[in-house]
Structure 1
Amino acid sequence: MTTLYGIKNCNTVKKARKWLEGNSVAYTFHDFREHGLTEQQVNEWLEVLAPEVLINKRSTTWKQMSDSDKAKVDAGDIAAIAAANPTLIKRPVLATGDSLQVGFKDSDYAGLLL
């Protein structure tokens, strides 16, 4: 099963969804804002992805976070902070049965899904 994680009004997520639909790839969309994320989900991603790949330190959410929460993330206590603030996650996250892809590049999606 392929799942695309993100927020529906993100332009990059929109591009990824358009690509998936245009290439007839069956997928489920999980909106962070509507459905949230669990600490367990974030921890599973962190088993595969480096924190700097998953966390978007250029996001508005990061910039508005308290220094103490930023320090927790930098110290590796990422799951609880990211689950509470899912817009910290770089978007989109594409999960296929055995792989994760962060961000969207049509060539990467084609190599993974076609």
Structure 2
Amino acid sequence: MLNIYGIKNCDTMKKAFRWLDEHQVEYQFHDYKKEGVNAELAAAWVAKLGWEAVINKRGTTWRKLTDDVKDNMSESNAVTLMLEQPSLIKRPLIVKNEEVYLGFNAEHYAQTLI
């Protein structure tokens, strides 16, 4: 079974849920808005993938940050911000075994999640 992290009402999350359901892939969903983010997991994701990959720079949450915060981003700052504002985390974030996958890509899902 895999774990999928994100926000339930996100359009990209809905695509991922639909794909997983259609392909009968069992998953456990963790909603950032309701359950928050675990500091250990956030730090592990950033350590494994880099903060540049994990933080969604396209979203409104990123755009609302001050230039000073954006310009001084580091791994530790990213983890702190992820805990305070989980909407900054790129969605969906999928963990299967020890691997972490970001975003929705049906072709990539077919190769790695089934």
Would you say same fold, with TM above 0.5?
yes
Q: 2:65 maps to what in 1?
A: 65
User: Aligned-pair distance for 1:52?
Assistant: 1.4
8 A Cα contact 1:8 1:31, kept in partner = yes
Map of 1:1-114 to 2, 5 A cutoff?
A: 1-73=1-73, 75-76=74-75, 77-114=77-114
Aligned alpha-carbon RMSD (Å):
1.3
TM-score (norm 2): 0.91
Alignment gaps of 5+ in structure 1: none
**Given residue 95 of structure 2, which amino acid in structure 1 is its aligned partner?**
A
Q: How many residues align?
A: 113
User: Aligned-pair distance for 1:58?
Assistant: 1.7
Tell me how far apart the structure 2 counterparts of residues 82 and 113 of structure 1 sit (CA, whole Å). 25
Identity across matched positions, percent: 37
SS in 2 for 1:44: helix
